[in-house]
Amino acid sequence: MGAEVKADAGAKAADPKNGAGGKSDKVFDLSSPEWYLNRELTWLEFNRRVFNESADVRNPLLERVFFLAVIGSNLDEFFMKRIGGLKQQVGAGLKLLSQDGRTPQQQIDESYATVRDLLEKQEAMERELLAQLAKQKILIVKYSELDEEQRRKMGSYFRDSIYPLLTPQGMDPAHPFPFISNLSLNLLVATRLSDAEHVYLNRIKVPTSGTGIPRFIRVDPSRHTYVLFEDVIANNLETIFPGMVIESCELFRVTRNAITEHLPDQAVDLLSMIETALQDRKFAEVVRLEVDPAMTRQHRGMLAFQLGINSRKDVFTVEGIMGKRDLMEIVGIDKPALHYPPHLPLDHYKLAGDFPNIFHLIREEGPFLLQHPYESFSSSVERFLREASTDPKVLVIKMTLYRTSANSQIIQYLLDAARNGKQVAVVVELMARFDESANIHWATYLEQAGVHVTYGVVGLKTHSKVIFVVRRDYNGLRRYAHIGTGNYHAGTARAYSDLGLLTCAPDICNDLTEFFNFLTLGYSARNYKKLLPAPRKLKKTLVENIKREIEHQGKGNQGLIQLKSNALTDMDVISALYQASQAGVKVELIIRDSCLLRPGIPGLSDNIRVTSIVGRFLEHARIYYFRNNGQEEYYIGSADLMRRNLDHRVEVMAPIESPTLQAQLREILNLQLADRRGAWEMQVDGSYIQRRPDAKEEKRSAQELLIEKSEKRLAEARRLYKKQSSKKIAKRKSKNK
């Protein structure tokens, strides 16, 4: 990258009057920052699209509240990960520019401006949604708005259920400024003796986590009236500070840097290293202070000083509810009319019969493409592992584990398999951000049960999603596999849009044997016929395939590239796509959030279209398609088009070669590219415009249509099964005569 590039010699520039589609001979320096967008700002732009869902009256009311809560959670993570990392660069004096030419401090400053604008809109939307909730008799009220009987009940509840949990901490020469934990809510209480002027400052942590007490405390079990946990404490301070005058009570919250990992080293025990990193994170530097509007300037300055942050830049005033991610509690209210229509994942249409053995089904009727959450994770992926754990013919189970749920059936089936005498090997990724503690727990738990646990390859995160099973079939050993785009997590399988492949294809399974040997041995010299693993092969193949489309285009055969990914930030891939566009190749990208490529630049990217899908389910699947002059290639897997995924993680992309499964992927791509409800079109400056259906166009989103199509597939499969069963019964009756 960095060289000047142009299309084939003699190619004619696209005529602006005729629109995109032609070749360009204009020369562009692809190392120039002007052709790229900023990763942080494009991610914040994605959150604007999420915010729009909270404002969209086409969404049910509680679902709009859900999107508002998602914004709160996303911004927390943005400060912990992205701002935290940028602040580390500033602190280290690094002047390295981003691809779009910004310094770390410039990125922080511009991100802050965008965040403040987004927060202002979020707070206005919160007021609107709370007013709408009130009309539906869901009330979040201030303590002062409670009637006398309600205050009496809340006072009693405070003394019995909250007061024993509190640990007020004074701040004076004998009591230094206390440690403030990440994302915790805190009350700064100023008190004095009734006959004195000296003011004492005290901190009370609001103990929402692990206490069983919700953030939104229900006042009356017969009504949906709620008061905030911190408001209950703030209005019962006389119990905590008897005989004292309460001068003020102000709410604040801190966010700490989550970037604390050490670089892995062969001489360091990885488990100990991660445990140390987790401990470091608890005490990491503060990157943001949130305060309520009533906090005095003096108290803001004192907190900023004690927390080591800039009182002008790093302090954010929060109107309304602080920590809006907790609005998820309100989202859970059981009022069906205020939610999306219920969606229950259906059985995969090929797995819905009464066939007792999934391996027979895969062998005889496979491979199968799984579409979550439209199709059930439980009756496909979990069933695959469950049957493997008990099938006497299964000898070996291997899998990669990046994230899983707290009450995971996946873990239980692995334990069952080990107890049933099978050889079980699990590669646990200890550095899965924010899941490190859970993964340490699972790794230890599995190892104690006799499972062979490894932590992957030094220096690389294992992000792949693979289950590999060796079974003694009637004709010898046969290998079976699941390769997915999503984590082995039952919760996210209901909320994320993901794909999976169940197969026993010999070439793929041979590759998986090599792949797991790489993970357990660490040697990279492996030969793969079908799979595209990262970091060794995937990016190289992607770039080669893009160049191949350019070659086809040069021979007069229309090139077509369609890539669906969560993010597009890898410069080598972007450079190759720019060159493809210059050559006249049509490039259609479905990128959920960060996209550094700029579509629609005359002569450079006018053959590229970028779409972002935002809807009920989080788009998480990766699909890579190349027309290849009619010899079409489709891939699915775990890797996003990011440098971290392609160069620094262990990923797997698998080819989809069955015409039936290719048709299913084609249906997904076509629906999303044509979506007029949940799709946004990226503009040349990085902004997005939401598509809107006209009177004759489909008004449902691609996600809604995929729900309908999964229902039709299953209904048709059941109809055929019933018809075949009737024929078998009739045939038996005829024989009996």
CATH of the domain at 175: 3.30.1840.10
Statement to judge: residues 109 and 150 lie in one domain: yes
493: Cβ contacts below 8 Å, ≥ 6 apart: 345, 372, 373, 377, 381, 486
Residue 428 lies in a domain: yes
CA–CA distance, 83 with 40 (Å, rounded to integer): 9
How much of the chain is in helix, strand and coil states, percent to nearest 5? 40, 20, 35
Q: What pLDDT does 356 receive?
A: 78
Choice between 2 and 678, residue whose per-residue pLDDT is larger: 678
Confidence label for 729 from pLDDT (cuts 50, 70 and 90): low
Return all residues near 684 (Cβ < 8 A) that are at least 6 apart: 598, 599, 600, 601
Give the closest residue to 417 by CA, choosing from 394, 442, 383, 445: 394
- Say whether both 442 and 572 belong to one domain: no
Given a cut of 70, whether residue 30 has pLDDT beyond it is: yes
Percent of the chain, pLDDT > 90?
78
- In this structure, the answer to whether residues 254 and 281 fall within a common structural domain is yes
Same domain, 161 and 259: yes
CA atoms of 177 and 608, how far apart (whole Å)? 55
Beta strands in 216-317 (DSSP E): 216-218, 224-228, 244-256, 286-291, 315-317
Residues 187 and 307 in one domain: yes
Hunting for tokens 């009619």 — which residue is that?
A: 630
Per annotation, catalytic residue among 463, 482, 552, 620: 463
> CA 563, CA 587: separation in Å to the nearest integer?
8
Domain boundary among the residues 304, 338, 372 is at 338
Q: What are phi and psi of 597, to 5 degrees?
A: -75, 140
Q: Output the domain CATH number for residue 677.
A: 3.30.870.10
Distance CA 71, CA 325 (A): 7
3-state secondary structure of 76: helix
Question: What is the count of structural domains for the chain?
Answer: 4
d(CA 84, CA 94): 14
Whole-prediction pTM: 0.91
> Is residue 625 assigned to a domain?
no
Q: List pLDDT tens digits, range 671-723.
A: 999 999 999 999 999 999 999 999 888 999 999 999 999 999 998 888 887 77
**Euclidean distance between CA atoms 521 and 460, whole angstroms:** 13
Q: Which of 520, 462, 508, 509 is nearest to 488 (CA)?
A: 462
| Residue-wise DSSP of 365-420 | H--EEEEETTB-SIIIIIHHHHHHHH-TTEEEEEEEES---TT-HHHHHHHHHHHT
Listed residue (377, 308, 297) closest to 345, CA to CA: 377
Q: Please report the pLDDT score of residue 434 as a whole number.
A: 52
Integer Cα distance of 613 and 592 in angstroms: 6
679 Cβ partners below 8 Å, 6+ apart? 611, 612, 613, 672, 673, 690, 691, 701, 702
User: Which pLDDT belongs to residue 604?
Assistant: 98
* Lowest-pLDDT range of 36-45, 193-202, 301-310: 193-202
Alpha-carbon Rg for the chain in angstroms: 28
Are 216 and 289 contained in the same domain? yes
What pLDDT does residue 14 have? 38
Q: Kindly report, residue by residue over 95-107, the tens digit of the pLDDT.
A: 889 999 999 999 9
Q: Supply 582's token pair.
A: 């210059």
Q: Is residue 623 part of a domain?
A: no
131 with 240, same domain? Answer: yes
Q: Which helix (H) or strand (E) holds 109?
A: helix 104-135
Q: Which of the pair, 726 or 380, is modelled with greater confidence?
A: 380
Q: Do residues 280 and 318 touch, judged by C-beta distance below 8 A? A: no
Q: Which two tokens stand for residue 686?
A: 């990085």
**Range 324-349 average pLDDT:** 96
Is pLDDT above 70 for 730? Answer: no
Backbone angles phi, psi at 56, to 5 degrees: -80, 115
Higher local confidence (pLDDT), 259 or 122: 122
The rounded distance, in Å, linking the Cα atoms of 404 and 406 is 7
> Do residues 95 and 156 share a domain?
yes
For position 224, what pLDDT does the model report?
Answer: 97
User: Is residue 352 one of the residues assigned to a domain?
Assistant: no
Give per-residue pLDDT as tens, 251-261.
Answer: 999 999 987 54
The more confident residue out of 721 and 263 is 721
In sequence order, which residues have a C-beta less than 8 Å from that of residue 366 and are 6 or more positions away? 350, 502, 503, 504
Examine residue 618 and state whether it is found in any structural domain, yes or no.
Answer: no
How many CA atoms are closer than 13 Å to the CA of 14, on its beta-carbon side? 23
pLDDT band at 266 (very low <50, low <70, confident <90, very high): very low
pLDDT-based confidence at residue 17 (cuts at 50, 70, 90): very low
> Quick one: DSSP state of residue 33?
G
- Give the pLDDT of residue 404: 82
Instruction: Select the highest-mean-pLDDT range: 124-138, 192-206, 522-536.
Output: 124-138
Helix 571-582 with 538-554: angle, nearest 10 deg: 10
pLDDT on residue 737: 52
Examine residue 373 and state whether it is found in any structural domain, yes or no. Answer: yes
pLDDT tens for 607-634 read 999 999 999 999 999 999 999 999 999 9
Q: Are residues 223 and 251 in the same domain?
A: yes
Tell me the per-residue pLDDT of 181-229, one tens digit each, with 9 for 90 and over: 999 999 999 999 988 889 999 999 999 877 889 999 999 999 999 999 9
Is residue 463 annotated as part of the catalytic site, yes or no?
Answer: yes
Can you read off the two tokens belonging to residue 614? 């935002």
**Shared-domain flag, residues 310 and 380:** no
Find the mean pLDDT for residues 270-296.
Answer: 71
- Whether residues 188 and 326 fall in one domain: yes
Task: Please check whether residue 34 lies inside any domain of the structure.
Answer: no
Summarize the confidence of residues 425-450 as an average pLDDT.
Answer: 75
**Same-domain check for residues 444 and 554:** no
Write out pLDDT tens, residues 634-656.
Answer: 999 999 999 999 999 999 999 99
Q: 730 is in which domain, residue-wise?
A: 704-737
> Does residue 344 lie in a domain region?
no
The confidence score (pLDDT) of residue 385 equals 97
Contact call for residues 293 and 319 (beta carbons, < 8 A): yes
Instruction: Kindly give, in sequence order, each residue whose CB lies less than 8 Å from that of residue 487, ignoring residues fewer than 6 positions away.
Output: 402, 403, 404, 465
What pLDDT does residue 16 have? Answer: 38
Place of tokens 């006497």: 392
Quickly state the pLDDT bin for 405 (edges 50, 70, 90).
confident
